[in-house]
C-alpha cells in the first residue's frame, strides 16, 4: 500500500535546511517500501565485493600485478563506484528561493574494498597491506578533493550492520560532497577561536596536555597518538591524531604511514578484545588538500555500544556512561596482555 | 571481566567539549557491564509507572481528586522524579582549565506519566485528558525554566525501545539543563540571521510560504499547523508549530491547547495507521520563559524508520529516502480515510 501511493518520480537532489547550516540529500528514487526501511543488503549467496564479482561493478582503481587487465580477480585493493550512488559529477548550481534552496546531487561516491578476503579485518591484515590501504585512502581523498565543486571528502568505515554497514566484506565508503561537513565545521570554528586567542593549534595543545597528563592516552609512537577525548560523547570513543600539525590527511608523509598502521592495528585489536568485536564507525576528519584553515586532521573511532537514547537522538545532548579515563585504563590493560601474549 | 577492571567511583558531571559547543554528561557511576550497554529496563512483572506502584517513586505533582492524599493510586496524570536521575539541583560552577572544563551535574530530571493505563496512546486518550497533559508539559517547562542555573528545558517523548524508550508505559522525559541545546541553538542562529536581514520571523515566513504552497502541509487549524519540513532529515519528519508567533511554549494561551490536542491526535493516528505504529521521538523545541530571542517554539516528531547509516552517524550528513511531499501525500490520504471512517 505504501509503495503504491507514493510517487518517486523525482531525482535525488540537495536541499538546504533553512533552520540550520545543513544540506540534506532527498533521494526519492530509492522508492523503498515501508518494510524496507532500515534493511541491510544481504548477500547470502555471493558477495559483490569478493574476487570473481568484478564485472558487477565499475572499477575506478585497483592494485594488482601490472600485467593483469582491469576487472581480473587478482587485485589486492580495489576502488569501485558505489553501486547505490546518489551523487554524480555535476555542477553544484543552487536554485530556488531563500527559504527553499536546492541543488543537483553533485559529488562522487566510491567504495574501497580493503582486502580480497571476505572475513579479513583491519586488525589482522599484514601490516604492509594496511599501509597500502592507508595510502589508497589518502590518494582518493587527495584526488577527489581536487575535483570541481567538491568542498569535503569523507571516508567512513562502518563495521557491523548496527553501525550502518551495507556490506559484510571489509570496505570503506568515500563521499565527495559539494558542501562542508557539520562536525568538521564545529571543530574548525573551535580551532579558529582558539588560534585567535592563543596563536597556536587547539589540537596540538590538547595533544601536548594529554601527553603531560597521560590519563587519556591509549598508546602513541613517534608520529601518532591514540587517545580518548576528554568530553567523549560515547563509551570508548577514540581519536588517532598525527603528532605533527597538519590539516589534511592527504599531505601526510608516506614514511609515517607504517606508524599509523601499527597504532591503528594495536588499537582495533585491543578494542575488539575488550569489547568483543563491537560494531563501530571510523571516520576521517580532514580538510581538502590546499585548504589552509586552522585544523588538525584525525581519525575518530566510535564503537556503538549504547542505543542512542532520547538524550542524544533528536535532543542534541549526550550522556556517556563510561568515563574516558576508565575506557583508557581498560584498553591499556588489554594492550599490555596482547604484548605479553605476543 | 569488564565490570571488574573499571573503576566507577567518580560522580556524574558535565564536561565541555573543547572541539565544539557541546557539554557532555559523563556518568561513570552507572557502572554498566559491557553486556548491559543498550539494554532497556524491562518490567515483566510490575510496571513502576502503573497505579499501585506509587511508593517506588518520588511524586512531584499529580492530578487526582482533591480529597486524595499524595501517592494514592487514583491519579490521572503524575510527575515523578526520574528514578535514574543524574542531575540534581546544584550551582553550575565551571571548574578546570580552558581545555578541560567541567562542572557538577546540575539540573532536574522528571518523568511525566501520561495516563494511568499502561497501553494508552496519545492517539486514543480522551481529548480533555490530552489537553490536561499538554497543560502539564507547559507548566513543568515554565516552572523548571525559572529555576536558578537552568538554561534549557527539554521535553522528549520516546516511544518504542528502538527510539530509546526506557518504559513501555506512556511517559515523557523532562530534562532541565544548565546548558543550551545544540539544535535549538542552530535554529536560533538561523532565525537571528534571517531577522537581521528581513525584520521578520523565519518560522512565521516559512509557515506562510507553506500555507501558500500547500504541498508540505499535513493538516492545520485556526491555531496550529502540522507540516513536513522542506529539508526533512528523516522520512516522515513532522513539525507542529503555532501559527501565531511565540518563542516559549510556556506562554502559549490555554484556550488554544484543545486545538493543539486535536491536531496532534489526528497526526499521530495518521502516522500510526500509515507506518504501522513506528517507534518515534517527539521533542519540544522551546525557549525558557522570559527569553526574548527571535524564536518560534514547535514540536518535532521523528519516526525511526531507517537505521542511521554511516551518512548520518558520526558524519553529520543526512540522506533521506522519502521526499517530504510524498510523506505528506501519504499522511493526508490516511487522514482522509480516517475522516470518512469516523
CA B23 to chain centre: 19
B182-B187-B192-B197 Cα dihedral, nearest 10 degrees: 140
Average pLDDT over residues A85-98: 92
Say what the pLDDT of residue B307 is: 59
Q: pLDDT category, A44, cuts 50, 70, 90?
A: low
Say what the pLDDT of residue A313 is: 55
> Which residues are CB-neighbours of A189 under 8 A, at least 6 positions away?
B20
| Contacting residues of B for A305, CB less than 8 Å apart | 34, 37-38
Of the candidates B233, B306, B329, the beta carbon closest to that of A24 is on B233
**Does the pLDDT of residue A323 top 50, yes or no?**
yes
pTM, whole model, 2 decimals? 0.91
d(CA B155, CA B292): 20
> Among residues 63-102 of chain B, which lie with CB inside 8 Å of chain A?
86, 99-100
Say what the pLDDT of residue B304 is: 85
Percent of chain B with pLDDT over 90: 76
Q: Which residue has the higher pLDDT, A337 or A10?
A: A337
Q: Does A206 touch chain B (CB under 8 A)?
A: yes
Say what the pLDDT of residue B337 is: 84
Question: Which residue of A lies nearest to B322 if distances are taken between CA atoms?
Answer: A28
| Contacting residues of B for A154, CB less than 8 Å apart | 315, 317
Lowest mean pLDDT among A21-30, A86-95, B202-211: A21-30
| Contacting residues of B for A6, CB less than 8 Å apart | 322, 326, 329-330
**Does the pLDDT of residue A310 top 50, yes or no?**
no
The per-residue pLDDT for range A122-150, each reduced to its tens digit, is 999 999 999 999 999 999 999 999 999 99
Of the candidates B15, B235, B300, the beta carbon closest to that of A314 is on B300
Average pLDDT over residues A150-158: 94
CA-based torsion, B291, B293, B296, B299: positive or negative: negative
CATH number of the domain residue A256 falls in: 3.30.428.10
d(CA A267, CA B195): 49
**Nearest residue to A13 (alpha-carbon basis) of B140, B230, B43:** B230
**Does the pLDDT of residue B316 top 80, yes or no?**
no
Q: pLDDT category, B314, cuts 50, 70, 90?
A: low
The per-residue pLDDT for range B123-134, each reduced to its tens digit, is 999 999 999 999
Average pLDDT over residues B198-222: 97
| Contacting residues of A for B99, CB less than 8 Å apart | 202, 205-206, 209, 230
Tell if the CB–CB gap between A24 and B319 is shorter than 8 Å. yes
Which ipTM value was assigned to this complex? 0.90
Q: Does A163 touch chain B (CB under 8 A)?
A: yes
Q: Does B24 touch chain A (CB under 8 A)?
A: yes
Tell if the CB–CB gap between A314 and B22 is shorter than 8 Å. no
> Which residues are CB-neighbours of B171 under 8 A, at least 6 positions away?
B49, B111, B112, B113, B114, B157
**Does the pLDDT of residue B6 top 60, yes or no?**
no
Percent of chain B with pLDDT over 70: 88
Average pLDDT over residues B12-19: 95
**Does the pLDDT of residue A38 top 60, yes or no?**
no
User: Residue B205 falls within a domain, yes or no?
Assistant: yes
Of the candidates A38, A235, A313, the beta carbon closest to that of B164 is on A313
The per-residue pLDDT for range B133-172, each reduced to its tens digit, is 999 999 999 999 999 999 999 999 999 887 888 899 999 9
d(CA A209, CA A241): 14
Average pLDDT, chain B: 89
**Does the pLDDT of residue B122 top 90, yes or no?**
yes
Q: pLDDT category, A307, cuts 50, 70, 90?
A: low
The per-residue pLDDT for range A54-88, each reduced to its tens digit, is 999 999 999 999 899 999 999 999 999 999 888 99
Tell if the CB–CB gap between A18 and B232 is shorter than 8 Å. no
* Domain that includes residue B326, residue range: 38-99+107-342
**Number of structural domains in chain A:** 1
**Does the pLDDT of residue B226 top 90, yes or no?**
yes
The per-residue pLDDT for range B249-265, each reduced to its tens digit, is 999 999 999 999 999 99
CA distance to partner chain B, nearest, from residue A92 (Å): 17
Say what the pLDDT of residue B5 is: 35
Of the candidates B16, B182, B315, the beta carbon closest to that of A154 is on B315
Say what the pLDDT of residue A43 is: 47
User: Residue B28 falls within a domain, yes or no?
Assistant: no
| Contacting residues of B for A276, CB less than 8 Å apart | 34
**Full 3-state SS string of chain B:** CHHHHCCCCCCCEEEECCCCCCEEEECHHHCCCHHHCCCCCCCCCCCCCCCCCHHHCCEEEEECCCCCCCCCCCCCEEEEECCCCCCECCCCCCEEECCEEEEECECEEEEEECCCCCCCCCCCCCHHHHHHHHHHHHHHHHHHHCCCCCCEEEEEEEECHHHCCCCCCCEEEEEEECCCCHHHHHHHHHHHHHHHHHCCCHHHHHHHHHHHHCCCEEEECCCEEEECCCCCCCCCCEEEEECCCCCCHHHCCHHHHHHHHHHHHHHHHHHHHHHCCCCEEEEEECCCCCCCCCCCCEEEEEECCCCCCCCCCCCCCEEECCCHHHHHHHHHHHHHHHHHHC
> Which residues are CB-neighbours of B237 under 8 A, at least 6 positions away?
B228, B229, B300, B301, B302, B303, B320, B324, B327
| Contacting residues of B for A181, CB less than 8 Å apart | 315-317
The per-residue pLDDT for range B49-102, each reduced to its tens digit, is 999 999 999 999 999 999 999 999 999 999 999 998 889 999 999 999 999 999
Say what the pLDDT of residue B236 is: 94
**Does the pLDDT of residue B34 top 50, yes or no?**
no
d(CA A130, CA A77): 10
Amino acid at each position: 500500500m505504501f509503495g503504491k501511493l507514493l510517487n518517486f518520480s523525482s531525482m535525488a537532489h540537495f536541499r538546504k535546511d533553512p533552520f540550520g547550516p545543513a544540506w540534506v540529500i532527498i533521494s526519492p528514487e530509492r522508492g523503498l517500501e515501508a518494510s524496507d526501511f532500515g534493511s541491510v543488503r544481504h548477500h547470502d549467496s555471493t558477495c559483490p565485493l569478493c574476487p570473481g564479482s568484478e564485472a558487477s561493478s565499475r572499477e575506478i582503481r585497483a592494485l594488482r600485478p601490472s600485467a593483469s587487465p582491469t576487472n581480473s580477480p587478482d587485485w589486492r585493493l580495489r576502488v569501485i563506484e558505489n553501486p547505490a550512488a546518489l551523487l554524480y559529477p555535476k555542477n553544484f548550481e543552487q536554485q530556488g528561493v531563500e527559504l527553499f534552496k536546492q541543488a543537483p546531487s553533485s559529488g562522487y561516491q566510491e567504495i574501497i574494498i580493503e582486502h580480497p578476503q571476505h572475513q579479513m579485518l583491519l586488525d589482522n591484515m599484514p601490516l604492509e597491506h594496511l599501509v597500502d590501504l592507508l595510502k589508497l585512502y589518502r590518494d582518493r581523498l587527495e584526488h577527489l578533493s581536487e575535483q570541481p565543486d567538491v568542498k569535503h571528502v569523507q571516508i567512513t568505515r562502518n563495521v557491523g550492520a548496527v553501525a550502518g554497514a551495507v556490506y559484510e566484506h571489509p570496505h570503506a565508503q568515500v563521499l565527495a560532497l559539494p558542501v562542508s561537513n557539520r562536525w568538521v565545521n564545529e571543530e574548525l570554528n573551535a580551532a579558529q577561536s582558539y588560534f585567535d586567542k592563543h596563536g597556536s593549534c587547539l589540537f596540538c595543545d590538547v595533544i601536548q596536555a594529554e601527553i603531560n597528563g597521560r590519563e587519556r592516552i591509549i598508546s602513541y609512537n613517534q608520529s601518532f597518538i591514540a587517545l580518548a577525548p576528554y568530553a567523549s560523547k560515547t563509551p570508548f570513543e577514540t581519536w588517532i591524531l598525527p603528532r605533527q600539525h597538519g590539516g589534511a590527511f592527504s599531505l601526510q608523509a608516506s614514511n609515517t604511514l607504517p606508524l599509523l598502521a601499527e597504532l591503528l592495528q594495536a588499537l582495533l585489536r585491543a578494542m575488539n578484545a575488550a569489547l568483543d568485536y563491537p560494531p563501530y564507525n571510523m571516520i576521517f576528519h580532514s580538510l581538502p588538500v590546499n585548504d589552509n584553515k586552522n585544523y588538525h586532521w584525525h581519525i575518530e573511532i566510535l564503537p556503538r555500544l549504547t542505543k542512542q537514547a532520547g538524550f542524544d537522538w533528536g535532543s542534541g545532548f549526550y550522556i556517556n556512561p563510561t568515563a574516558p579515563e576508565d575506557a583508557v585504563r581498560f584498553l591499556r590493560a588489554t594492550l599490555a596482555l596482547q604484548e605479553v601474549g605476543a
